[in-house]
């Protein structure tokens, strides 16, 4: 762009051409603040740059969260950690820091249905996104179907390369995979591909002794368990079902209302 063309452009146009959206929206307001508070040019530019960087980081986080497919209502803010065992409560802050991701370690959450395992792994996933990690949440059966389609229609390695972009893949409810050898094979291959390279987080209502329902063959089952456990943190959840707890509170509330109505009638 020539000097003549540059001078004929407004400051907003020039900033947009530099792809500095926060400069565009904030430069005038910050200029007025600079005049009121007597900032120098360097201080003004510093504040403007800090706003641009903070907004850029937020946009990146928003983009990562959208790509993660994490349920928005399963975050750490609304997770009731008080209903988990004390050991799990102590482990969660460390896991949310994300150091295990850098070491390509895994997280395995076991419990009976309704104990909060999905909410827990999703809450950790949201915190990892906040720290800039690429995360993918998927029901295990859906990932398996995705891999089967890739195996049929294109080289499976191409799909693995796409999944490899994610530092963490969260497989929810691995125990609900249908009992099919093709499904077992692509799941086993997926776990092998990520072994000691990328992290997986797995929730399951099946303990290891029941994983032969998924992998069929005892040797394959043992090999799969060995890969996910070798570098892993295991979260064993116990206690009342979340749905049972909600139902109990609802029934208690209804009972209280009934008592009050009966008293009012008397």
Tens-place pLDDT, residues 90-104 = 999 999 999 999 999
Residue 259 scores a pLDDT above 60? no
Higher-pLDDT residue of 239, 87: 87
Q: Which whole-number Å values give the CA distances from 20 to 1, 16, 123, 165, in the listed order?
A: 18, 6, 32, 27
Helix axis angle for 140-153 and 156-163, nearest 10°, is 140
Mean pLDDT on 170-191: 88
Which pLDDT score is estimated for 176? 82
Which pLDDT score is estimated for 75? 95
Asked whether 227 and 200 are in contact (CB, 8 A), the reply is: no
SS3 call for 161? helix
Mean pLDDT on 11-15: 71
Higher-pLDDT residue of 102, 261: 102
Query: Range with the lowest mean pLDDT among 43-52, 106-115, 116-125, 161-170?
Result: 43-52
Asked whether 197 and 227 are in contact (CB, 8 A), the reply is: no
**Per mean pLDDT, which of 139-153, 166-180, 206-220 is the most reliable?**
139-153
Which pLDDT score is estimated for 180? 81
pLDDT tier, 35 (very low <50, low <70, confident <90, very high otherwise): confident
Residue 218 scores a pLDDT above 60? yes
pLDDT tier, 83 (very low <50, low <70, confident <90, very high otherwise): confident
**Which residue, 201, 225, 26, is CA-closest to 119?**
201
Asked whether 64 and 96 are in contact (CB, 8 A), the reply is: no
Which pLDDT score is estimated for 54? 86
**Which residue, 215, 208, 258, is CA-closest to 234?**
208
218: exposed, middle or buried (Cβ count in 10 Å: 0-12, 13-18, 19+) = exposed
pLDDT tier, 3 (very low <50, low <70, confident <90, very high otherwise): very low
At 237, which helix (H) or strand (E)?
none
* pTM of the predicted model as reported, rounded to 2 decimal places: 0.78
pLDDT tier, 172 (very low <50, low <70, confident <90, very high otherwise): very high
How is the chain split into domains, by residue range?
3-66, 69-244
DSSP 154: S
Q: Which whole-number Å values give the CA distances from 243 to 64, 72, 247, in the listed order?
A: 30, 19, 6
Residue 208 scores a pLDDT above 50? yes
Q: Which CATH number fits domain 69-244: 3.40.50.300, 3.40.50.720, 2.40.10.220, 3.30.460.80?
A: 3.40.50.300
Which pLDDT score is estimated for 255? 53
145 φ, ψ to 5°?
-65, -40
**How would you label 181-206 residue by residue, b for 16+ Cβ within 10 Å and e otherwise?**
eebbbbbbebbebbbeebbbbbbbbb
Mean of per-residue pLDDT scores for the chain: 85
At 104, which helix (H) or strand (E)?
none
């Amino acid at each position: 762009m020539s000097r003549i063309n540059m001078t004929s452009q407004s400051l907003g146009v020039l900033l947009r051409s530099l792809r500095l959206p926060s400069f565009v929206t904030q430069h005038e307001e910050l200029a007025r603040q600079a005049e009121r508070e007597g900032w120098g040019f360097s201080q003004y530019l510093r504040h403007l740059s800090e706003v641009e960087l903070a907004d850029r980081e937020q946009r990146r986080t928003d983009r990562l969260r959208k790509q993660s497919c994490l349920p928005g209502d399963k975050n750490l803010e609304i997770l009731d950690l008080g209903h988990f065992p004390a050991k799990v409560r102590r482990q969660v802050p460390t896991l949310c820091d994300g150091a295990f991701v850098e070491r390509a370690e895994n997280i395995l959450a076991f419990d009976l249905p309704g104990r909060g395992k999905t909410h827990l792994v999703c809450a950790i996933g949201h915190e990892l996104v906040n720290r800039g990690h690429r995360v993918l949440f998927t029901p295990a059966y859906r990932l398996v179907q995705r891999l089967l389609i890739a195996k049929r229609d294109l080289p499976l390695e191409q799909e693995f390369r796409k999944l490899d972009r994610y530092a963490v893949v969260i497989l929810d409810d691995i125990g609900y995979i249908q009992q099919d050898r093709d499904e077992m094979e692509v799941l086993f291959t997926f776990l092998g591909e990520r072994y000691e390279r990328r992290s997986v987080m797995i929730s399951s209502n099946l303990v290891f002794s029941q994983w032969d329902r998924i992998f069929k063959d005892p040797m394959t089952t043992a090999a799969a368990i060995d890969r996910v456990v070798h570098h892993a943190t295991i979260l064993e959840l116990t206690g009342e079902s979340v749905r049972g707890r909600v139902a109990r509170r609802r029934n208690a509330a209804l009972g209280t209302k009934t008592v009050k109505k009966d008293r009012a009638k008397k």
